[in-house]
Amino acid sequence: METIARSQPDAGADAPAPKDRPLIYRQSRWTRLTHWLWAISLFFMLLSGLQIFNARPQLYIGKQSGFEFHNTILEVGAENTANGPRGFTEIFGHRFDTTGVLGWSGPPGQETARAFPAWATIPSYYDLGTARVVHFFFAWVLSTTLLIWLISSIINGHIRRDLAPRLSDLRKLPRDIVDHAKLKFHHTREYNTLQKMAYGGVLFVLLPLMIVTGLAMSPSMNSVLPWLNEILGGRQTARTIHFTVMVLLVLFFLIHILMILAAGPVNELRSIITGWYRTDPPQKHDQPTERSV
């Protein structure tokens, strides 16, 4: 992507002169479009996926599950106690009381037994059919857009130029970690090492793994790709991996938002909405930047 620079006035007496902090055009229309398509798709997939999970709020490792098997690694449910119904979450045999959030939730006096609360699912009421329609629709939007992005990014060199870590990037990794820990950010066109690793992990590991495990769970795909289920260790294992990837993507999103707020939300949002981004003075351009994709 060609970098275009222009200057705009900055407020504040202590701000560097505009010519020292130019605006550069670094996010193409295609990058901005895919960013928001992925964000919207993942939002609806998350909430509809939690609704689907509510239909069977357990996760297993292996090809089968049931009363005669002991392969449950996660369970969210409710139980009757001396103090009334209580929600619980059990992880690898360790049980935690999660009443009010997981297992047993709802307005006072109208609580119901459900793994994830109504405010966290689409639709808010129990409707597995609608949840599946929403989930699969946005899954296809995400998959199609990701495939098109991958092909175009290979052709135009975006992956090689902006995302692939170089040896020099790896040398800067310790410094990047320290700078992030100190909330010290450098605003230039390039991604820093941590960003390249994080975005690369999401785009080339987590999202493809989510798509593959989603296909492995689909009964209609078993006849087309019967080997896929076997490679992943069975449908129940694929479902567990699918859920784990979802948790990792949520963690990435939270960290992503925190970094945007810490690095300067106005500048970051302007970049991903309009494409224009204000950089540090030229003498600081030996440092990588915080930017969002």
Which tens digit of pLDDT belongs to each residue from 227-257?
888 888 888 899 999 999 999 999 999 999 9
Report whether pLDDT(4) > 50.
Answer: no
Q: Which residues is 85 bridged to in the sheet?
A: 80
Report whether pLDDT(17) > 60.
Answer: no
Report whether pLDDT(202) > 60.
Answer: yes
What number of other Cβ atoms are within 10 A of residue 195's Cβ?
24
* Backbone phi and psi for residue 158, each to the nearest 5 degrees, phi listed first: -60, -40
What number of other Cβ atoms are within 10 A of residue 78's Cβ?
21
| The model's pTM | 0.82
CB 73 within 8 A of CB 240: yes
> Which pLDDT score is estimated for 288?
45
By C-alpha distance, which of 194, 196, 190, 198 is closest to 173?
194
> Which pLDDT score is estimated for 2?
41
SS3 state of residue 198: helix
Residue whose entry in the numeric block shows the structure tokens 């009381």: 97
Question: Domains along the chain?
Answer: 5-56+124-284 (1.20.950.20), 59-114 (no CATH)
* Backbone phi and psi for residue 144, each to the nearest 5 degrees, phi listed first: -65, -45
Report whether pLDDT(52) > 90.
Answer: yes
Report whether pLDDT(225) > 60.
Answer: yes
Report whether pLDDT(284) > 90.
Answer: no
Please, what is the Cα angle at 139 between 257 and 159, to 5 degrees? 60
By C-alpha distance, which of 88, 61, 92 is closest to 74?
92
Confidence tier at 213 by pLDDT (50, 70, 90): very high
Which tens digit of pLDDT belongs to each residue from 67-97?
555 678 999 999 999 989 999 999 998 999 9
Please return the burial class of 26, using the count of CB atoms within 10 Å of its CB with bins 0-12, 13-18 and 19+.
Answer: buried
Report whether pLDDT(19) > 60.
Answer: no
Mean pLDDT of 137-157: 92
Rounded CA gap, 180 and 243, in Å?
28
> Which pLDDT score is estimated for 65?
56
Residues 6+ apart with CB under 8 A from 47: 120, 121, 122
Full DSSP string of 117-168: -GGGSSSSS--HHHHHHHHHHHHHHHHHHHHHHHHHHHHHTHIIIIISPPHH
> Which pLDDT score is estimated for 204?
94
Q: Tell me the average pLDDT of the chain.
A: 85
Q: Residues of the chain with pLDDT > 70: what percent?
A: 86
Which tens digit of pLDDT belongs to each residue from 249-280?
999 999 999 989 988 889 889 999 998 888 88
Which tens digit of pLDDT belongs to each residue from 162-199?
888 889 888 989 998 898 888 888 888 788 889 899 99
